[in-house]
A and B are shown apart, each in its own frame.
Chain A
Amino acid sequence: MTNKRRFLAAASALAMLAGPAVAERGADGELKIIYWQAPSTMNPFLSGGTKEVEAASMVIEPLARYSNTGDIVPALAAEIPTVENGGVSEDLKSITWKLKTDVMWSDGTPFTAEDAIFTWKYCTDPNGGCAQTTYFEGVSAMEAIDAHTLKISFTEPKPFPYTALVGSESPIIQAKQFADCMGAKAPECTEQNFNPIGTGPFKVVEFRANDVITLEANPHYRDPAKPAFAKVTFKGGGDAESAARSVLQTGEFDYAWNLQISPEVLTEMESAGKGKVVVAFATSVERIHVNFTNPDSALGPDDRSVFKADGSNPHPILSDIRVRKALSKAIDPVVLTEIGYGKTGKPTCNVLPGPDIYASTANEACKTQNLDEAKALLDEAGWVPGSDGVRVKDGRRLSFLYQTSTNAVRQEFQAIIKEWWSQIGVETELRNISASVFFGGDPNSPDTFQKFYADLEMYTNNFSGVDPEAYMANWLCDKAPTPATQWQGENINRYCNPEYDALAAEFAKTAGLEARAEIAKKMNDILMQDYVMFPLVHRGGTSAHANSLEGVLINDWDSELWNIADWRRAK
């Protein structure tokens, strides 16, 4: 208490000497952040959870990161290498990063390219269980040209080379500190994992797992005027609603993260006038996936919902595009968004809604519900209304099993959509599965989203970073989950379209943002116009900050705390 006061007094005295125009490090006292899911470690390579990544982003930094507009901006790098400035080789097989030369670790030792190389080795050690290895995929070597020049080589041409050590999910850790924590030793380095030495604006004073992190301004941070806060208390635990309350209603905290609560509650809390709700949109889309294979429970485990390359196991009803289109036409994404997400969501007709240059405008028709058109499509497909209103064809009822994870908003959506579909003569059986099982990935469970033992299923997916190449490659024929792959694979729909596969191959070879955007849009449009899935809501990241907190630029492309060095108290 008294120490802090003395420090503040000293800081303000310095500020007066320096003149009022220049901000002083630590002048704004304590910043209190609440994350209702508490971080369990400060090492994002060992966790991979968003909460750990964001907490760590205050301490350890990557070479470059994504701004709130989705642009790549330098962090530890001096500039962003491109083909134009010679940083990326013409054959797209290497990238050379120039590092800032004045960066110090919080223990006062200089940051060099060797730390970056160590980080790569640390995460790619086969015994380490690193959660972020995808960032280093295709990296064949890293070398230090000099202490502040890092060359990364790729096994194949990489049109989008900004993956390794870019973004808060692959930051650089200090080689000296983690030297003894390679491979199987990684989890045992509790001290290092909880208190990593970093280059970021703050350093850990005390880490209490799943509870609270106390940080203080990094005395060696490269900008002497930042951060404005001397101390950060990063509290975790509880639930989203009370986290929102502590910022918007009681004013005990300055910043609350990930407020997935009903829009009315959020609006009412905001009316207390202590803080405001901020929303950032990236790539999260709530969507309904169509199963292109036959999920009939009468089939054996080697056939049920299993994709066959010869096309021998199609879905008996949904393989007809007219049925898929009719289902899509009967849905009103605008109404759903308003009910479920309020201002924290936007209706969308794309599975790839951003960054802006990738967002297609060709599919906007899906936002308008048209029940008559849907009925006409079903009539045309030969489905005629039966005695109880449910359409039939060849003695088969037009009936679907529609599953999702257990979640209040999702169950509300299910009920509304079921009602719409019943208006066009479609019978829907609803099912919800505990999220830990649904997303649990246990190959022995019949209830995972990968197994897809249903006709339709709804959830949200997204991709991290700003480059959609890997994400759009999800719908390649050979990525369908099958028993042979232990039900692993991203092509949840079991969609297979040679034209799409060809586009994906072209995408992987094309450099240049404009050209890449063109292909990505085309791929998106194929998925949309083939009604492979029905996008519903473009979901934003919702947070709240106190009115007295300035400088917050909410960011769904990277850590929300990406610019915490610039946060300050309103004067």
Chain B
Amino acid sequence: MLRYAIRRLLISIPTLLAISFIVFALLDLAPSDPTANLPLTIPPEVREKIRLSLGLGEPFPIRYLKWLQQFLINEPLAVFEQLTGLSIGDSENRLRVLSWATRSPVTDLIVERMPQTLWVVGMSYVVAVLIAVPIGVISAYRQYSIFDQVGTLISMLGFSIPTFFTGLLLIVIFSVWLGWLPSIYDTTHVVNDWESFLFQVRQMIMPTMVLALANASQISRFMRASMLDNLNQDYVRTARAKGVRERTVVLLHVLRNSLIPVVTVIALGVPTIFGGAIVTEQIFRVNGIGALLITGIESNDIPLVQTLTFIFAILIVLFNLIADLLYGVLDPRIRYE
């Protein structure tokens, strides 16, 4: 297993390098201008100077290699130094990946955005799994029952109604009409006592539930299908013939086997947590990674978008590997050599 993991990691290096080149090249060659969003009152000569100061004067290969060096060597070193307080080499003059719009290191921006994304999007994923698994299990166990029909209906709704609609609906109901929940997320809020914790919960409820509904619909459908597959398996009949309690039959035999594909789906979905939820973050102003990406795109902040996209690529490759390994752990029939 370990050898397999190491081999897979080694194989992913050229893959990621290729991705990094494609990401960089695509974004770099796409027509975009970092000064496009400036007021028309700023004259073209000044715009040209701004572009030069952003390093756009250099040829493409040089810029790519510089970015790669900054991303792969300078940024990890900088993060390491910030974490440990040590300084390695010439840390003062080390060039980092700078965002064009904010002129600050991209990694710092990402680190700043990470907490709210993990709180809201991560929590919504946890909630989604917690809701989806029981619903999927019950729906499958009582196939075609009222519960299953209602569950199917809600899943379809959650699946097909976009989050910008459910988000706005919740805001209109709970913020505008009832005035119970804040419609704008306070990213500077610090949880240090019971009262502030309650406020954190209140401001998280709406974005979390909107996202959880969308995610849960998908996972519960997977769970249901997988349960249905396993419920009709012979070993379930064997377990019943053994005189095992029905709860044990469902939870131990059927659920454990049904979870294998579902866990894979869940693991593969984890990178999307880090990607944030662009729409939902915008609606509730959670201003996490998703909002960072979209403002980066809107302001043609190419280094920011390149770096974020590449980080997502790394996470996707990584979690694909994790999903594969997890599969091996969960299913004794699969052995990696």
Query: Can you list, as one digit per residue, whether each of A460-471 has a CB less than 8 Å from chain B (1) or not (0)?
Result: 011110000000
Question: How near does chain B come to A253, taking the closest CB pair, in angstroms?
Answer: 7
Instruction: Give which listed residue, B52, B102, B183, contacts A245 with CB less than 8 A.
Output: B183
A189 to B176, CA, bound (A): 42
Whether, in the assembled complex, A273 has its beta carbon less than 8 Å from a beta carbon of chain B, the answer is no
Rounded to whole angstroms, the CA-CA distance of A38 and B285 in the bound complex is: 10
Given contacts A208-B112, A245-B171, A436-B37, whether A190 and B183 have CB atoms under 8 Å apart is no
User: B109 to A209, Cβ gap below 8 A?
Assistant: yes
Whole-angstrom distance between the alpha carbons of A169 and B329 in the complex? Answer: 61
Stretch of B17-25, B118-126, B139-147, B291-299 on the interface side: B291-299
Which B residues are in CB contact (< 8 Å) with A49? 37-39
Within 8 A of A (CB), among B298-331: 298-301
Give min CB distance, B278 to chain A, whole Å: 12
Q: What number of A-B contacts does a CB cutoff of 8 Å give?
A: 177
Answer yes or no: B84 CB below 8 A from chain A CBs.
no
Does B112 lie within 8 Å of A209, measured CB to CB?
Answer: yes
- Spot the interface stretch: A151-159, A437-445, A555-563: A437-445
Whether B54 is near chain A, meaning CB under 8 Å from some CB there, is: yes
Chain A residues positioned under 8 Å from B81 (CB to CB): none
Q: B6-14, B40-48, B215-223, B241-249: which one contacts chain A?
A: B40-48
Report if B175 contacts A (CB, 8 A): yes
Stretch touching chain A among B27-35, B152-160, B254-262, B268-276: B27-35
Whether the pair A193, B103 counts as a contact (CB closer than 8 A) is: yes
Q: Do the beta carbons of A245 and B33 come within 8 Å of each other?
A: no
A210 pairs with B292, CB closer than 8 A: yes
Judged by a CB distance under 8 angstroms, whether A211 is at the interface is yes
Contact status B49-A129, CB under 8 Å? yes
How many of B's residues come within 8 Å of A, CB to CB? 58
Interface size class of A (residues with CB under 8 A): 35 or more
Residues of chain A with a CB closer than 8 A to B112's CB: 208-209, 211
Minimum CB distance partner of A39 in chain B: B102
Given A48-B38, A210-B101, A246-B184; A440-B31 close (CB under 8 Å): yes
A250 within 8 A of B: yes
Q: Which residue of B lies closest to A487 (CB)?
A: B44
CB nearest neighbor in A for B51: A129
A237 close to B285 (CB less than 8 A): yes
A contact residues around B193 at 8 Å (CB): 1
A128 CB-CB contact with B under 8 Å: yes
| Inter-chain contact B33/A133, CB cutoff 8 Å | no
CB atoms of B171 and A193 under 8 A apart: no
Of residues 177 through 231 on chain B, the ones whose CB sits less than 8 Å from some CB of chain A are: 179, 182-184, 186-188, 192-193, 195-196
Of the listed residues A38, A47, A236, A463, the one surrounded by the most CB atoms of chain B closer than 10 A to its CB is: A47
Q: Is the CB of A237 within 8 A of B33?
A: no
- Interface contact A134-B42, CB-CB below 8 Å: yes
**Inside 8 A of B102's CB, which chain A residues have their CB?**
40-41, 190, 193-194, 209-210
B99 touches A209 (CB 8 A): yes
Q: What separation, in Å, do the CA atoms of A249 and B105 have in the docked complex?
A: 37
CB distance from B67 to the nearest CB of A (A): 15
A188 proximal to B (CB < 8 A): yes
Whether the Cβ atoms of A187 and B282 lie closer than 8 Å is no
Residues of the B chain whose Cβ atoms lie less than 8 Å from the Cβ of A436: 32-33, 36-37, 298, 300
Q: Distance (Å) between the CB of A487 and the closest chain B CB?
A: 9
15 A/B residue pairs, CB under 8 Å, sorted by A: A34-B184, A48-B38, A129-B54, A131-B38, A133-B46, A134-B42, A188-B103, A190-B102, A194-B104, A209-B102, A210-B292, A236-B287, A246-B184, A440-B32, A464-B39
